[in-house]
Each structure stands twice: as structure tokens, then as C-alpha cells.
Amino acid sequence: MSVIAAFAVPHPPIILPEIGRGEDKKISRTTDAYLAVMRRAAALRPDTIVLMSPHSIMYADYFHISPGSGAQGDFSEFRAPEVQISAEYDAEFAAALTETCEGCGLPAGTLGERDPKLDHGTMIPLYFLNKFTKDFKLVRIGLSGLSPREHYRLGENVAQTAEKLGRRVVLIASGDLSHKLLSEGPYGFAVQGPEFDRQVTMALGAGDFLSLLTLPPEFCEGAAECGLRSLQIMAGALDRKSVTPELLSYEGPFGVGYGVAAFEVTGEDEKRDFGQQLDLIEARRLIALRENEDACIRLARLSVETFVRTGKRAALPAEMPPELLSRRAGAFVSLKKNGALRGCIGTIAPVTSCLAEEIMHNGVAACSQDPRFPCVEARELTQLEYSVDVLTEPERIRSSAELDVQRYGVIVEDGDKRGLLLPDLDGVDSVEQQLAIARRKAGISESANPVLYRFEVVRHH
């Protein structure tokens, strides 16, 4: 046996009558759809429910699979402690899934459990499922900060484990959509919010899983989405499967998007190899980037690739643009992988003889000395994107009124503490945010009155 169906559901606590106290009636279509899909799930008589929750234990670089024989939880956090949910875990499945992931180098397993209690992203689906059946075991999986492709790979491993163990498995992808649909909502409004929900619900209704894997990270962040990575794991578990997709409902009256969708597996379909299709799209995109690199980016890439592969620093190329050899300036080299930062190191003022050497020096530092990340490995080189920011000389300013988050980077200085933030960064939309991040990086308290500097950059990418 294997994965026989999958369901995408939201997890708003207000949907429970014990919590909503009448407000739940405003999302009655979501409730009706929830009951419908859980009735279907129960009718399939699954041996194991594999449930992905954004509110389970989450790590940046590791998928946490809940260990042990079971767990329980309640809704005390939402002033309904009388509502309690318990689940028996499929420990054999969790162990086999961990082994499968280890075998293919995917960082996933049962280590690092901080709190064994069930989270509301898990309990709300179980609340509805338990109305129809309790005759199953649960595998609970948290999300990670890894790429969409890695979430898809985890889903593929779930399907392989189900085949290996002969389990009838139903997946539940728990997750709300955008949290920024309405200005009067708890998270405010962003233009990306409704558009994100439109694109995701269209993809769910059409069974278009490739679209779920290729949404731009900045767009998703702007929408303040919750459940996309749950859907990406689900998509991986349905790799090469023909499915009958159905979007049963979508609502967002409280400013958060709630979608319910069902996917019945009807057979095999080799054309639905969305993981491999994503690999091909990404490879083509990176090739196009390489073909259009300027001299600064070529230097950064040369320095990183040479150091990672040989452990030695690259020599300056024989032919270089004269301005890179005659000019001295501070520079930052940033590395991204799958849209996420993979390393960033730079110098405020030049420390080498010319800009070319500055870039190469900081390229090596970005791939091997950024304390936030492990050293870049050779297998990652084909997936890296580079940017180089060349700094103007910083100028001291009197106040934050002289800053512009799009135009100027900022340096905050308090004694021997100094923090820097580049301009025009994704997710940094205000001077207040910019200063707060720079303060945190330097360890400067909010009560301090640091000296401020601003600078401009020429960005190469």
C-alpha cells in the first residue's frame, strides 16, 4: 500500500465552537468542508495519518518527526482547556521514515524535541477527524527553513516509507494561507495577501503542484503565509501519482485565508514528477544567471568555488577591468541558495589593495566564516546565487530622519559595538526596522543612543 489520499486544511482555533462562541459561524463553509474531507479520510480506513503542522517543532535546517508512542494537548492557550486531544503515534513509521531520510542525506528525524504536547495545527485537524474515526496512528512532522525542493523530497520519502511498510497512508497538510488579507485583520493588509491566496487556491483546485514549488520567496513572505511548506510536503508524497483534485472551500473573513482541498489518488502518472521539473527549471535559471554575470560577480564566484573545492584562495585573473584594480572600497559578498541567505560577509572600509581583492577576500569569508551558517560544501556550488555590494564611504548623520531604507545602508556605533545593514533588503520596509536589526547585530540596547552613519551601495547581481 502507499499514500491513498491527501487533504489540505486550515487550523483557525476560532473554528471550534468551544473557542469561537458564535464567531465560528462566520466560517461555516470552512467547517462544512472540513467535516466533508475528514469524513472521506475516515472512510478510506487509513492505517496511518501523516500530518504536517507549521506549529509543531521547527528548525531552520532539520525536519522534526515527533518521537515516542503518543502525545496529547489541549486548548488552554485559547481559553478552552476542556477541549483535549490525544494521539497514538506510529513509532515504526517514524523510525523507518528517519532511516529513509538519512539514507538520501535529507536532514530529518526525531531529535531535538523541545515540547511533546500537540500543537493547535495538529489538534484542529484531529478534532474533526476524531468525529468519524480514531482507528489510526499518527506521524506528526514539523516544517523547516529548508527549500521547497527539500520539503518535496520529504514527501517523496513519506511515500517510499508507506510502500516499504505496506501502510495505507492519508496525508493531512495543515496550514492557513495568507495572514494579510484585511487592513482590519490582526496582521494588517498587504497586496501580496489576496494574490497569494488566489494563486494557491487555483493551484490546489487544478492539482498544479509545480506552482506551489515555484512561488517567489519574497512574495510568500510579503503575504505572511503559514501553510505553503505543508502543501509542498504533501505534493512530494503525491509525486508521479494521478490525483483527482478538488477545492471544497475558501474563506477569509477574519483577514486570514482558509482553504480546504482534497486529492484522491487514482493511479500512476510519470508526467507529474514535479520535483524533477523544479530541478530543471532551477538549473536553467542558474545557467542564465551565469551567462549574464558581470566582473564583480565572476570574481565572487571564482573565489568561492576555488576555496570550497581546493581549500586555497584563487589568484586574480590575468585580465580585469581597470577600475577593479585601481579602486579601493568596502564590499559585501552575499550568497543565496533556493532564495534563502546562505552567507554574507563584507568590509565597511577596504582592507586589501584593490576592489578586486576585496571582493575575492570577502567571497571566501562569506562561504566559510559567516557564523550563522555551516561552511558551503562542494555539492552546493551549482545552486548558489551571488550578489556584490560595493560601498561608498560612510558619512555620519545627525538622526534617522536622514535615512532612506531603499537608498541608504546604515551603521550604528556605540563604543566598540558596531552593526551594519545594507539598503534595499527583502522584508526590511522601514527605517525603524533597519535600525532595530542593525542594533541587534551589534548587541546595542534600545536605550542606547548610538552614532549613526549612512552609505550607498552599487549592487551587482
**Can you give the pLDDT at residue 1?**
67
Each residue of 85-125: pLDDT tens digit? 999 999 999 999 999 999 999 999 999 998 999 999 999 99
Partners of residue 411 on adjacent β-strands? 420, 453
Q: CA quadruple 224, 229, 230, 234: dihedral positive or negative?
A: positive
- Cα distances (Å, whole numbers) of residue 176 to 11, 130, 268: 6, 20, 29
Q: What does pTM read for this prediction?
A: 0.84
The parts of the chain modelled with pLDDT lower than 50 are none
Q: Among 243, 315, 314, 309, which residue's Cα sits nearest to residue 274?
A: 243
Torsion-angle region of 92 (φ positive above 0: left; ψ -120 to 50: alpha; else: beta): alpha
Domain boundaries, the chain: 3-278, 293-391, 392-461
Q: Residue 257 corresponds to which cell in the numbers above?
A: 485565508
Matching CATH number, 3-278, of 3.40.50.300, 1.20.1050.90, 3.40.830.10, 3.30.470.20: 3.40.830.10
CATH number of 293-391: 3.30.700.20
The pLDDT assigned to 456 comes to: 93
- Left, alpha or beta for 378 (phi > 0: left; psi -120 to 50: alpha)? alpha
- What CATH number has the domain spanning 392-461? 3.30.1490.150
Residue 151, φ and ψ in degrees, nearest 5? -65, -40
Alpha carbon distance, N-terminus to C-terminus of the chain: 48
Q: Where does 143-257 show beta strands of DSSP type E?
A: 169-174, 241-251
C-beta atoms surrounding 252 within 10 Å: 22
Q: What is the predicted pLDDT for the residue at 338?
A: 78
The amino acid at residue 317 is P
pLDDT at 55: 97
Could you report the per-residue pLDDT of 325-358, keeping only the tens digit for each? 999 999 999 999 877 889 999 999 999 999 999 9
Residue reference for cell 481559553: 79
| Cα 235 from Cα 445, distance rounded (Å) | 44
